Amino acid sequence: MPKSKYLLIYKDLKQKIEEDDFQYQELLPSENSLIQTYNCSRNTVRRAISQLVEDGYVQTMQGKGVRNIYQPVEQTSYTIGGIESFKESSLRNHKKGRTEVLFFIEITADEKISRRTGFSVGSELYYLQRLHFLDEKPLIINHNYFLKEAVPGLTPEIAQGSIYDYLENELHMTIVNSKRVITVEKITQIDEKYLHLDVNAYNCMAVISSQTYNSDGVMFEFTQSRHRPDYFRFQDNAVRRRLA
Amino acid sequence: MPKSKYLLIYKDLKQKIEEDDFQYQELLPSENSLIQTYNCSRNTVRRAISQLVEDGYVQTMQGKGVRNIYQPVEQTSYTIGGIESFKESSLRNHKKGRTEVLFFIEITADEKISRRTGFSVGSELYYLQRLHFLDEKPLIINHNYFLKEAVPGLTPEIAQGSIYDYLENELHMTIVNSKRVITVEKITQIDEKYLHLDVNAYNCMAVISSQTYNSDGVMFEFTQSRHRPDYFRFQDNAVRRRLA
DNA sequence: GCCGATTTGTCCGTATGTATC
DNA sequence: CGATACATACGGACAAATCGG
């Protein structure tokens, strides 16, 4: 439940848009009238609207108004975007998720791991391999590296559930920021084995490599997420920045 | 040249970060001191900083300060992200770009095209196929659909250069918003032919499908951009939103 | 553990500029 | 031209988190 005012307005407008209260291409009420509706200042409605712009829900036009450009996506495949745990994505996509821990060890970052992950040499890490099922179909293999000092007490049992749950609710850590790179890579034997892939059909995978920071500004996670190509779908909304 | 104040501050700070004026993990000057430096209001510096947050350059921490988390990326491959034309990306990546127009016709959207692109049935469109070279290596095949009424006078000659240049500088259109979906798809015969791909090495491509809106809120472009998997690299920075 | 100083987060009100109609 | 709409900028107030004494 949001407690800040701009988030309440944001969520309310977002819901209205999703529920078709505004037609595609229709203008939303003007800022002034929203000020009346929500009994708040202009800055506050503008902040809510700017979030909707980031989401690709609306578009502002100086002198004209704010246009609804939301179009629902067909939910045939598993859609990702934003920072979400596998569990959260599963729920949003209305699928049943399950996670299997394939591998769990504690390691110290050497030169090679450091280059790959961005952790400094000598860092104490947990290294996990996890297999994610959606509706009992294996779709994703994750290679996770967690900084031990930031994620103390991680166990295979916890990793089988949601690690983000553990971080946020047990350790009260706040996940803030995630730098991601998407590439396409050749299938490895591990991929082939656990995802039951036929190399003749697809011989590569969608790979998301991400570095995640907590609210202390510490990078505490590096993850390489390898997705079955036929179920991979990454969604994004880009806003062209003004330069002048 | 930016003329708004917050963009000037944003660009200045961004440059300082890129030039290593602040060390990784170091705190930037506080908002109050930035107010002194730039002789502006608090909102203005905050706005500049929030842009840097979106870029993944810094991270704000309530009660503590603003931490520099910028790490330069190795520019070995062609990196995309944000809304950019092929020409802009080429320049940013310090490569020489060239574009070849394979196909150029005018069509009317039927049911099938409408479903695929999001244009309504009956829309008059330009349909192009273009091949993009980087340092004389064919890397990307684009299938572009442009709304004729929004992009009048498009010719193969223009398409061989930068269409975005034409749109922004000749037609004075402003590109605003782009909804993108990244998937992985099987290689087609067209891909194989023009990109000189060996199916035994890679049998799929990275595909970016995007719908782009102009400042009138009109979707004027649908593009499917098919990338050689071994040169594909999509970069992104996600900020976890507060919920409460 | 408390208190005060510092720093970022939220919110308000107002003024002015710019684009559209 | 005036009215309306969003964009930029300023200044002030209070809240929440952090840190040092």
Contact A244, B1 (CB under 8 A): yes
pLDDT digits (tens, 9 = 90+) for B11-52: 999 999 999 999 999 999 999 999 999 999 999 999 999 999
Range B53-81 average pLDDT: 82
pLDDT of residue B166: 81
pLDDT of residue A61: 92
Torsion of CA A140, A145, A148, A150, to 10 degrees: -80
Confidence of residue B151 (pLDDT cuts 50, 70, 90): confident
C11 C1' to B32 CA distance, Å: 19
pLDDT digits (tens, 9 = 90+) for A195-226: 988 877 889 999 999 999 988 888 999 999 99
pLDDT of residue A50: 96
pLDDT digits (tens, 9 = 90+) for B95-131: 778 889 999 999 999 999 998 998 999 999 999 999 9
Closest CB from B61, B180, B203 relative to A215: B61
Confidence of residue B164 (pLDDT cuts 50, 70, 90): confident
The 10 Å Cβ neighbour count of residue B79 is 16
Cβ distance B237 to A180 less than 8 Å, yes or no, reads yes
Interface with chain A: mutation pick from B55, B83, B92, B177, highest number of A CBs within 10 Å: B177
pLDDT of residue B217: 84
% of chain A residues with pLDDT over 70: 89
Range A69-74 average pLDDT: 80
Please tell me whether any atom of strand D lies within 7 Å of the Cβ of B47. Answer: yes
What does the alpha-carbon distance between residue A109 and residue B75 come to, in Å, rounded to a whole number?
24
pLDDT digits (tens, 9 = 90+) for B168-196: 777 777 777 888 889 999 999 999 999 98
pLDDT of residue B83: 62
Contact B56, B69 (CB under 8 A): yes
Confidence of residue B90 (pLDDT cuts 50, 70, 90): low
Closest CB from B7, B184, B244 relative to A1: B244
pLDDT of residue B9: 97
What count of CB pairs under 8 Å joins A to B? 168
Give kind and range of the element (H or E) at residue A65: strand A65-68
pLDDT digits (tens, 9 = 90+) for A127-168: 999 999 888 889 899 999 999 988 888 899 998 888 888 887
* Arithmetic mean of pLDDT over chain A: 87
- CA angle at A66 for the pair A61 and A72, rounded to the nearest 5°: 120
What does the alpha-carbon distance between residue B209 and residue B226 come to, in Å, rounded to a whole number?
9
Contact B111, B121 (CB under 8 A): yes
Nearest nucleotide (CA of A45 to C1'): C11
DSSP helix/strand/coil, B127: strand
Cβ distance B240 to A82 less than 8 Å, yes or no, reads yes
Contact A190, A103 (CB under 8 A): no
What does the alpha-carbon distance between residue A85 and residue B62 come to, in Å, rounded to a whole number?
24
Range B69-86 average pLDDT: 67
Please tell me whether any atom of strand D lies within 7 Å of the Cβ of A63. Answer: yes
Q: Inform me whether the pLDDT recorded for B82 exceeds 70.
A: no
What is the sign, positive or negative, of the torsion defined by CA atoms of A218, B83, B97, A186? positive
Q: Inform me whether the pLDDT recorded for A82 exceeds 90.
A: no
pLDDT of residue A161: 85
Pick from A3-17, A170-184, B6-20, B106-120: least confident: A170-184
CA B96: distance to chain centroid? 18
Q: Inform me whether the pLDDT recorded for A30 exceeds 90.
A: yes
What does the alpha-carbon distance between residue A68 and residue A62 come to, in Å, rounded to a whole number?
14
pLDDT of residue A62: 92
Region label for B85, one of left (φ > 0), alpha (ψ between -120 and 50) or beta (otherwise): beta
pLDDT higher at B30 or A74: B30
Cβ distance B242 to A67 less than 8 Å, yes or no, reads no
Residue A57's contacts (CB-CB under 8 Å, 6 or more residues apart) are A14, A17, A68, A69, A70
* Arithmetic mean of pLDDT over chain B: 87
pLDDT of residue A135: 85
Q: What is the pTM of this model?
A: 0.88
Chain C footprint bases within 7 A of protein beta carbons: 6-15, 17-21
**Residues from chain A contacting residue B240 (CB–CB below 8 Å):** 82-83, 174-178
Range B139-148 average pLDDT: 93
Contact A131, A100 (CB under 8 A): yes
pLDDT of residue A176: 80
Please tell me whether any atom of strand D lies within 7 Å of the Cβ of B10. Answer: no
Contact A101, A193 (CB under 8 A): no
Give me the half-sphere count of Cα atoms (radius 13 Å) on the Cβ side of residue B145. Answer: 22
Residues 154-183 of chain B with CB under 8 A from chain A are 174-183
pLDDT of residue B72: 81
Residue recorded with tokens 């608090």: B42
**The amino acid at A18:** E
pLDDT digits (tens, 9 = 90+) for A83-124: 666 666 666 667 778 899 999 999 999 999 998 998 989 999
Residue nearest to nucleotide C5 (CA to C1'): B63
Q: Inform me whether the pLDDT recorded for A243 exceeds 70.
A: no
Query: Closest approach of chain A CAs to the CA of B152, in angstroms?
Result: 22
Closest CB from B25, B59, B82 relative to A238: B82
Cβ distance B177 to A56 less than 8 Å, yes or no, reads yes
